[in-house]
Amino acid sequence: MFTVSAVWGQSPSDSVKVYFRVNHHQFDSSLGDNRAAMDGFVDKVCKAVATNNIERLVVRAYASPEGSQAANVQLTRYRCETIANYLIDHTGISRDLVQTLPEGIAWAELRHLVAETPSVPSQQKVLDILDNTPLWIYDARGKVVDGRKKQLMNLAGGVPYRWMLTHLFPELRNAVAVSVYLKSAQPIEEQTVTTASEVRSDSLGQPNPSDLCDQPDSSVCPTEVPPPSFIADDFVSPYRHLFAVKTNFLYYAALMPNLELEWLINDRWSVALEGDVAWWKHDPPHKYYQLAVISSEVRRWIHPRKPWHGMYLGLFAGGGWYDLENGGLGHYGEGWMTGLSFGYMWPIGRALSLDAGIGAGYMHTRSKEYEPYDGHYLYQRTKSLDYIGPLKLKLSLAWRFFRIHEHKKTSPTP
């Protein structure tokens, strides 16, 4: 379904349709008529922004039936945000006025194309499936036993589906419809380029069939899984910050300034380098609180909801130097440590996050004991310490920066 909305009475020239390359969400102005179409639309939006005449701007994205529903919805979310950010950057429109609607598979537009194409094999049977077969069909126990896509693929030995795959699906792929609604217009009924109505909950609001399927590899179990989380989940941007700078609030309670730099290699792995320094000195009566620690860590993110959001496990190692003395026996030495960490990070803004975690492992130190006496420091002995237990505790504020556009693909190909 490629929606050309007229909810607020604007003319068709107030909408634009642009295309993406197969399985990509980056906007390519050299593809087809994308440049001319978008330039003309940007001019109209700029004029409306200048006169403060925009009620809202809606971006809808779609994909073809190949691949899973989950992958298609995720891809259309990326496409929506790509176009939304493009328009924000080129028109100055407020992000609050831009609404993004990732529609997933364009079932209604497929129905429209089939109805207009008499050469579709078994056309009437295909239309009957599109009109009357739900996306998912459940048995009495709530298990998925059939569905719209499965019936299309099984119809006439798969001949109609393969024909549509070649001749019609390319028309469904990669389209984004953008509409601007003006304040001065009066609301009228929304129009679409299809005559068939489509309820979005039909494709997005059903229970997750994978949770009900006893045999995930069975031919009965669908490959498309429409989890509701793709609607209720947080904003997912096609952009990703590569780095984060963090500082641990808890260490400041110990008068220890600290800084951590983390590099997100991909959605699953990151590496971090942390430095903690407390170099305080109080001459009379020879009090020293001097501590410097440098540690590195490799982190594995566990099913992240999006970059920089979710649980992680880490493996860390580091070393440091210290001089601790409180007017009596002092300890001057060095040590090293290694261990495992566990944490959770969640965003609190477009570039800010909170990171909470704990780490435990093994630490070995070797120090010289000294005693201040008559302006001198008298060596007493050398001691070693082996320790197993908690080594890290943090509640850090993270600033994410160096934003890049994700050039990853969403599989399978929509």
**CA separation (Å) from 105 to 108, 164, 240?**
9, 14, 25
Tokens for 143, please give them: 């298990």
Neighbour count for residue 175 (Cβ, 10 Å): 22
Sign, Cα dihedral of 152, 153, 158, 162: positive
Mean pLDDT, the chain, integer:
79
Least Cα distance to 324 among 257, 388, 255, 389 occurs for: 255
Residue with tokens 């209720």: 232
Q: Do domains 1-117+171-195 and 240-405 have the same CATH topology?
A: no
CATH topology of domain 240-405: Porin (2.40.160)
Q: What is the pLDDT of residue 68?
A: 76
Cβ neighbors of 406 (< 8 A, separation 6 or more) are 25, 78, 238, 239, 240
CB 343 within 8 A of CB 375: no
CB 341 within 8 A of CB 356: no
Helix (H) or strand (E) holding 109: helix 107-115
State the average pLDDT over residues 388-414: 75
* Neighbouring-strand partners of residue 16: 178
Check whether 237 has a pLDDT greater than 80. no
Question: What's the CATH number for 1-117+171-195?
Answer: 3.30.1330.60
Cβ neighbors of 43 (< 8 A, separation 6 or more) are none
More confident residue, 196 or 140: 140
Domain locations along the chain: 1-117+171-195, 122-167, 240-405
| Distance from C-alpha of 351 to C-alpha of 403, rounded to nearest angstrom | 9
| Distance from C-alpha of 157 to C-alpha of 330, rounded to nearest angstrom | 84
Q: What is the pLDDT of residue 54?
A: 82
Check whether 5 has a pLDDT greater than 80. no
| Distance from C-alpha of 25 to C-alpha of 102, rounded to nearest angstrom | 12
Q: What is the pLDDT of residues 146-166, one digit of tens each?
A: 889 889 999 999 999 999 988
Q: What is the pLDDT of residues 311-346, one digit of tens each?
A: 999 999 999 999 999 878 899 999 999 999 999 999
Check whether 202 has a pLDDT greater than 60. no
State the first-to-last Cα distance of the chain, in angstroms, to the nearest integer: 15
User: For residue 139, what is the DSSP state?
Assistant: -
Q: Which of 61-75, 172-186, 297-311 has the highest mean pLDDT?
A: 297-311
| Distance from C-alpha of 357 to C-alpha of 398, rounded to nearest angstrom | 13
Q: What is the pLDDT of residue 201?
A: 31
Tokens for 61, please give them: 């994205």
Q: What is the pLDDT of residues 77-103, one digit of tens each?
A: 888 888 989 999 998 888 888 888 888
Q: What is the pLDDT of residue 224?
A: 41
Angle 44-46-47 (CA atoms, 0-180°, nearest 5)?
65
Check whether 408 has a pLDDT greater than 90. no
Amino acid at the residue 122: S
